Structure 1
Protein backbone atom coordinates (compact mmCIF):
# COMPACT_ATOMS: atom_id res chain seq x y z
CA UNK A 1 0.00 0.00 0.00
CA UNK A 2 1.37 3.40 -0.95
CA UNK A 3 1.85 6.29 1.42
CA UNK A 4 -0.77 9.06 1.12
CA UNK A 5 0.33 12.72 1.09
CA UNK A 6 -2.36 15.38 1.43
CA UNK A 7 -2.08 18.69 -0.41
CA UNK A 8 -1.42 21.66 1.88
CA UNK A 9 -2.37 25.29 1.24
CA UNK A 10 0.43 27.07 -0.63
CA UNK A 11 1.57 30.05 1.44
CA UNK A 12 4.85 31.94 1.42
CA UNK A 13 5.53 30.80 4.99
CA UNK A 14 4.83 27.10 4.37
CA UNK A 15 6.90 27.10 1.17
CA UNK A 16 9.86 29.15 2.51
CA UNK A 17 12.15 26.16 3.32
CA UNK A 18 11.94 25.11 -0.35
CA UNK A 19 11.80 28.42 -2.19
CA UNK A 20 9.67 31.46 -2.92
CA UNK A 21 5.99 31.88 -3.68
CA UNK A 22 5.75 34.33 -6.56
CA UNK A 23 2.47 36.24 -6.59
CA UNK A 24 1.07 39.73 -6.40
CA UNK A 25 -0.45 40.35 -2.97
CA UNK A 26 -0.66 44.12 -2.73
CA UNK A 27 0.19 47.35 -4.47
CA UNK A 28 3.39 47.60 -6.52
CA UNK A 29 6.67 48.42 -4.80
CA UNK A 30 7.49 51.02 -7.44
CA UNK A 31 5.74 52.93 -10.19
CA UNK A 32 7.81 53.07 -13.38
CA UNK A 33 7.47 53.80 -17.12
CA UNK A 34 6.15 57.34 -16.82
CA UNK A 35 3.70 56.28 -14.12
CA UNK A 36 2.03 53.68 -16.33
CA UNK A 37 3.44 50.49 -14.80
CA UNK A 38 3.64 49.05 -11.32
CA UNK A 39 6.69 46.95 -10.49
CA UNK A 40 6.42 44.17 -7.90
CA UNK A 41 10.14 44.03 -7.21
CA UNK A 42 12.55 41.15 -6.53
CA UNK A 43 10.07 38.36 -5.78
CA UNK A 44 12.47 35.37 -5.90
CA UNK A 45 15.90 34.39 -4.61
CA UNK A 46 17.57 33.34 -7.87
CA UNK A 47 20.83 31.51 -7.20
CA UNK A 48 23.28 30.13 -9.75
CA UNK A 49 26.52 28.48 -8.65
CA UNK A 50 29.44 30.62 -9.86
CA UNK A 51 32.45 29.22 -11.67
CA UNK A 52 30.99 25.80 -12.56
CA UNK A 53 30.58 25.17 -16.26
CA UNK A 54 30.11 28.86 -17.05
CA UNK A 55 26.43 28.82 -16.08
CA UNK A 56 24.08 31.74 -16.57
CA UNK A 57 20.41 32.52 -16.03
CA UNK A 58 18.14 31.61 -18.92
CA UNK A 59 14.44 31.80 -19.72
CA UNK A 60 12.70 28.84 -21.37
CA UNK A 61 9.06 28.01 -22.13
CA UNK A 62 7.67 24.64 -21.00
CA UNK A 63 4.51 23.04 -22.41
CA UNK A 64 3.37 20.54 -19.78
CA UNK A 65 0.73 17.86 -20.16
CA UNK A 66 -2.18 17.72 -17.73
CA UNK A 67 -2.08 15.47 -14.67
CA UNK A 68 -4.95 14.39 -12.42
CA UNK A 69 -5.42 13.76 -8.72
CA UNK A 70 -4.76 11.42 -7.10
CA UNK A 71 -1.22 11.68 -8.47
CA UNK A 72 1.46 9.02 -8.09
CA UNK A 73 4.84 10.62 -7.36
CA UNK A 74 7.38 8.25 -8.92
CA UNK A 75 10.29 10.66 -9.16
CA UNK A 76 11.77 13.79 -7.63
CA UNK A 77 14.76 15.72 -8.89
CA UNK A 78 17.00 18.55 -7.77
CA UNK A 79 19.36 21.05 -9.36
CA UNK A 80 22.59 21.53 -7.37
CA UNK A 81 23.89 24.37 -9.54
CA UNK A 82 20.90 26.68 -9.70
CA UNK A 83 17.46 27.70 -8.56
CA UNK A 84 14.47 27.13 -10.85
CA UNK A 85 11.43 29.42 -11.15
CA UNK A 86 8.09 28.44 -12.74
CA UNK A 87 5.84 31.27 -13.90
CA UNK A 88 2.46 30.22 -15.34
CA UNK A 89 1.43 31.85 -18.60
CA UNK A 90 -2.17 30.70 -18.25
CA UNK A 91 -4.55 30.13 -15.35
CA UNK A 92 -3.91 26.39 -14.84
CA UNK A 93 -3.00 25.42 -11.27
CA UNK A 94 -0.04 23.09 -10.84
CA UNK A 95 1.01 20.57 -8.23
CA UNK A 96 4.23 21.38 -6.35
CA UNK A 97 5.86 18.48 -4.51
CA UNK A 98 9.02 19.16 -2.51
CA UNK A 99 11.28 17.58 0.09
CA UNK A 100 14.24 18.70 2.13
CA UNK A 101 17.51 16.83 1.65
CA UNK A 102 18.35 14.11 4.17
CA UNK A 103 21.86 12.82 3.55
CA UNK A 104 21.70 13.01 -0.24
CA UNK A 105 18.14 11.68 -0.56
CA UNK A 106 14.74 13.35 -0.26
CA UNK A 107 13.20 13.53 3.20
CA UNK A 108 9.44 13.61 3.84
CA UNK A 109 7.52 14.90 0.82
CA UNK A 110 5.17 17.85 1.08
CA UNK A 111 2.61 18.75 -1.58
CA UNK A 112 1.07 22.11 -2.51
CA UNK A 113 -1.33 23.22 -5.25
CA UNK A 114 -0.94 26.67 -6.77
CA UNK A 115 -3.86 28.97 -7.32
CA UNK A 116 -4.23 30.39 -10.82
CA UNK A 117 -1.53 33.01 -11.40
CA UNK A 118 0.82 31.85 -8.62
CA UNK A 119 4.39 30.96 -9.54
CA UNK A 120 7.20 29.44 -7.51
CA UNK A 121 10.96 29.58 -7.29
CA UNK A 122 12.69 26.42 -6.08
CA UNK A 123 15.92 27.01 -4.19
CA UNK A 124 19.10 25.37 -5.42
CA UNK A 125 19.32 21.70 -4.27
CA UNK A 126 15.60 21.41 -3.36
CA UNK A 127 14.13 18.01 -4.18
CA UNK A 128 10.95 18.52 -6.24
CA UNK A 129 8.53 16.68 -8.47
CA UNK A 130 8.22 17.34 -12.18
CA UNK A 131 5.99 20.09 -13.56
CA UNK A 132 2.41 18.83 -13.12
CA UNK A 133 -0.47 21.09 -14.21
CA UNK A 134 -3.73 19.75 -12.79
CA UNK A 135 -6.77 19.27 -15.00
CA UNK A 136 -5.49 20.95 -18.18
CA UNK A 137 -2.21 21.40 -20.06
CA UNK A 138 -0.14 24.39 -18.99
CA UNK A 139 2.53 26.66 -20.42
CA UNK A 140 5.20 28.12 -18.13
CA UNK A 141 8.08 30.53 -18.37
CA UNK A 142 10.97 28.88 -16.53
CA UNK A 143 13.99 30.81 -15.25
CA UNK A 144 16.87 28.50 -14.47
CA UNK A 145 20.56 27.84 -14.99
CA UNK A 146 21.83 27.22 -18.51
CA UNK A 147 25.37 25.90 -18.85
CA UNK A 148 27.82 23.09 -18.29
CA UNK A 149 28.23 20.92 -15.24
CA UNK A 150 25.90 18.34 -13.76
CA UNK A 151 22.77 20.20 -12.70
CA UNK A 152 20.26 17.36 -12.46
CA UNK A 153 19.97 14.59 -9.89
CA UNK A 154 16.99 12.22 -9.88
CA UNK A 155 15.57 10.02 -7.15
CA UNK A 156 13.04 7.29 -8.04
CA UNK A 157 10.83 6.10 -5.17
CA UNK A 158 10.69 2.35 -4.55
CA UNK A 159 7.21 2.83 -3.07
CA UNK A 160 5.84 5.97 -4.76
CA UNK A 161 3.58 8.08 -2.55
CA UNK A 162 0.13 9.11 -3.74
CA UNK A 163 -0.80 12.80 -3.64
CA UNK A 164 -4.42 13.57 -2.82
CA UNK A 165 -6.48 16.71 -2.26
Structure 2
Protein backbone atom coordinates (compact mmCIF):
# COMPACT_ATOMS: atom_id res chain seq x y z
CA UNK A 1 0.00 0.00 0.00
CA UNK A 2 1.27 3.45 -0.89
CA UNK A 3 -0.32 6.50 0.77
CA UNK A 4 -0.41 9.62 -1.40
CA UNK A 5 0.64 12.76 0.44
CA UNK A 6 -0.24 16.37 -0.40
CA UNK A 7 2.28 17.68 -2.89
CA UNK A 8 4.72 20.40 -1.84
CA UNK A 9 7.62 21.91 -3.75
CA UNK A 10 10.10 20.63 -1.16
CA UNK A 11 8.83 17.03 -1.07
CA UNK A 12 8.55 16.81 -4.86
CA UNK A 13 11.95 18.46 -5.63
CA UNK A 14 13.83 15.15 -6.25
CA UNK A 15 11.33 14.35 -9.03
CA UNK A 16 10.67 17.73 -10.65
CA UNK A 17 8.86 20.97 -9.92
CA UNK A 18 5.50 21.95 -8.47
CA UNK A 19 4.04 24.88 -10.37
CA UNK A 20 1.70 27.18 -8.47
CA UNK A 21 1.10 30.80 -7.64
CA UNK A 22 2.92 32.35 -4.72
CA UNK A 23 6.08 34.31 -4.23
CA UNK A 24 7.19 37.13 -6.47
CA UNK A 25 4.96 38.46 -9.24
CA UNK A 26 4.53 41.49 -11.44
CA UNK A 27 1.23 43.20 -12.06
CA UNK A 28 0.18 43.42 -15.71
CA UNK A 29 -2.93 44.12 -17.81
CA UNK A 30 -3.62 47.51 -16.27
CA UNK A 31 -3.36 46.10 -12.76
CA UNK A 32 -5.92 43.33 -13.30
CA UNK A 33 -3.52 40.37 -13.48
CA UNK A 34 -0.60 39.02 -11.44
CA UNK A 35 2.10 37.30 -13.50
CA UNK A 36 4.20 34.62 -11.79
CA UNK A 37 7.07 34.19 -14.23
CA UNK A 38 9.40 31.31 -15.12
CA UNK A 39 8.02 28.73 -12.69
CA UNK A 40 9.50 25.60 -14.29
CA UNK A 41 12.49 24.53 -16.31
CA UNK A 42 11.74 22.62 -19.49
CA UNK A 43 14.60 20.16 -19.94
CA UNK A 44 14.63 18.99 -23.56
CA UNK A 45 17.34 17.15 -25.50
CA UNK A 46 17.41 17.22 -29.33
CA UNK A 47 13.84 18.33 -29.90
CA UNK A 48 11.49 21.19 -29.24
CA UNK A 49 8.83 21.90 -26.63
CA UNK A 50 5.30 21.13 -27.74
CA UNK A 51 1.90 21.78 -26.18
CA UNK A 52 -0.67 18.98 -26.28
CA UNK A 53 -4.05 18.40 -24.68
CA UNK A 54 -4.71 15.14 -22.80
CA UNK A 55 -8.24 14.08 -21.87
CA UNK A 56 -7.78 11.42 -19.19
CA UNK A 57 -10.36 9.27 -17.44
CA UNK A 58 -11.06 10.06 -13.79
CA UNK A 59 -9.63 7.20 -11.71
CA UNK A 60 -11.12 5.64 -8.58
CA UNK A 61 -9.34 5.25 -5.25
CA UNK A 62 -7.76 3.08 -4.15
CA UNK A 63 -5.82 3.15 -7.41
CA UNK A 64 -3.86 0.14 -8.69
CA UNK A 65 -0.60 1.18 -10.36
CA UNK A 66 1.23 -1.61 -12.19
CA UNK A 67 3.20 0.41 -14.71
CA UNK A 68 5.70 3.29 -14.67
CA UNK A 69 7.30 5.16 -17.55
CA UNK A 70 10.04 7.72 -18.02
CA UNK A 71 11.20 10.13 -20.69
CA UNK A 72 15.00 10.27 -21.07
CA UNK A 73 14.97 13.15 -23.57
CA UNK A 74 12.65 15.64 -21.92
CA UNK A 75 10.73 16.76 -18.88
CA UNK A 76 6.95 16.55 -18.96
CA UNK A 77 4.67 19.25 -17.54
CA UNK A 78 1.02 18.52 -16.61
CA UNK A 79 -1.35 21.48 -16.16
CA UNK A 80 -5.00 20.84 -15.21
CA UNK A 81 -7.30 22.95 -17.37
CA UNK A 82 -10.67 22.68 -15.66
CA UNK A 83 -9.92 21.97 -12.04
CA UNK A 84 -8.70 18.52 -11.08
CA UNK A 85 -7.08 16.77 -8.19
CA UNK A 86 -4.61 14.24 -9.52
CA UNK A 87 -2.23 11.58 -8.31
CA UNK A 88 1.44 11.96 -9.18
CA UNK A 89 3.28 8.66 -8.69
CA UNK A 90 7.04 8.97 -9.11
CA UNK A 91 10.27 7.07 -8.47
CA UNK A 92 13.91 7.95 -8.91
CA UNK A 93 15.93 5.89 -11.36
CA UNK A 94 18.07 3.16 -9.80
CA UNK A 95 20.26 1.58 -12.46
CA UNK A 96 17.68 1.70 -15.22
CA UNK A 97 14.67 0.63 -13.14
CA UNK A 98 12.37 2.53 -10.79
CA UNK A 99 13.48 2.94 -7.19
CA UNK A 100 11.12 3.27 -4.24
CA UNK A 101 7.93 4.98 -5.42
CA UNK A 102 6.24 7.95 -3.80
CA UNK A 103 2.75 9.24 -4.42
CA UNK A 104 1.49 12.81 -4.18
CA UNK A 105 -1.88 14.50 -4.59
CA UNK A 106 -1.82 17.75 -6.55
CA UNK A 107 -4.71 20.15 -6.15
CA UNK A 108 -6.69 21.92 -8.85
CA UNK A 109 -4.48 25.00 -8.37
CA UNK A 110 -1.22 23.11 -8.97
CA UNK A 111 0.67 21.73 -11.95
CA UNK A 112 3.78 19.54 -12.04
CA UNK A 113 6.84 19.41 -14.24
CA UNK A 114 8.24 15.88 -13.97
CA UNK A 115 12.00 15.91 -14.44
CA UNK A 116 13.66 14.18 -17.37
CA UNK A 117 14.45 10.51 -16.55
CA UNK A 118 12.08 10.36 -13.57
CA UNK A 119 9.89 7.26 -13.51
CA UNK A 120 6.21 8.17 -13.16
CA UNK A 121 2.73 6.77 -13.38
CA UNK A 122 0.26 7.66 -16.09
CA UNK A 123 -1.86 10.81 -15.88
CA UNK A 124 -4.26 10.04 -13.05
CA UNK A 125 -6.98 12.59 -12.24
CA UNK A 126 -9.03 11.54 -9.20
CA UNK A 127 -11.64 14.32 -9.24
CA UNK A 128 -12.78 17.21 -11.38
CA UNK A 129 -11.84 17.15 -15.04
CA UNK A 130 -9.39 14.96 -16.91
CA UNK A 131 -8.47 17.77 -19.33
CA UNK A 132 -4.79 18.74 -19.07
CA UNK A 133 -2.40 20.82 -21.09
CA UNK A 134 0.89 18.95 -21.41
CA UNK A 135 4.17 20.56 -22.36
CA UNK A 136 6.82 18.05 -23.36
CA UNK A 137 9.44 17.14 -25.94
CA UNK A 138 8.48 16.72 -29.58
CA UNK A 139 11.14 15.17 -31.80
CA UNK A 140 12.82 12.10 -33.20
CA UNK A 141 14.36 9.40 -31.02
CA UNK A 142 13.21 7.12 -28.25
CA UNK A 143 11.77 9.27 -25.49
CA UNK A 144 9.62 6.66 -23.78
CA UNK A 145 10.74 3.78 -21.58
CA UNK A 146 8.18 1.60 -19.84
CA UNK A 147 8.50 -0.64 -16.80
CA UNK A 148 5.83 -3.08 -15.59
CA UNK A 149 5.96 -3.48 -11.80
CA UNK A 150 6.35 -7.03 -10.50
CA UNK A 151 3.86 -6.22 -7.74
CA UNK A 152 1.20 -3.58 -8.38
CA UNK A 153 1.00 -0.64 -5.99
CA UNK A 154 -2.28 0.17 -4.31
CA UNK A 155 -2.39 3.93 -3.86
CA UNK A 156 -4.67 5.51 -1.27
CA UNK A 157 -4.96 9.00 0.15
CA UNK A 158 -2.66 9.54 3.14
TM-score by length of 1: 0.90
SS of 1:161's equivalent in the other structure is strand
The aligned counterpart of 2:25 is 29
Match of 1:143 in 2: 135
Counterpart for residue 149 of structure 2:
157
Q: Quick one: which of 35, 38, 42 aligns to 1:39?
A: 35
Query: Could you list the runs of 5+ residues in structure 2 that have no partner in the other structure?
Result: none
Partner of 1:103: 95
Any conservation in 2 of the 1:5–1:111 contact (CA below 8 Å)?
A: yes
Number of equivalent positions: 157
Separation in structure 2 between the aligned mates of residue 13 and residue 159 of structure 1, nearest angstrom:
28
Aligned residue for 1:18? Answer: 15
Higher strand share: 2
**For the residues of structure 2 that align with 1:116 and 1:108, how far apart are their CA atoms?**
26
Greater CA deviation, 118-127 or 31-40?
31-40
Question: 1:65: which partner in 2?
Answer: 57
Aligned counterparts of 1:37 and 1:75: Cα–Cα separation in 2: 41
Q: Map 1:83-94 to 2 at 5 A.
A: 83-94=75-86
How well do the aligned residues superpose, as a CA RMSD in angstroms? Answer: 1.3
SS in 1 for 2:11: helix
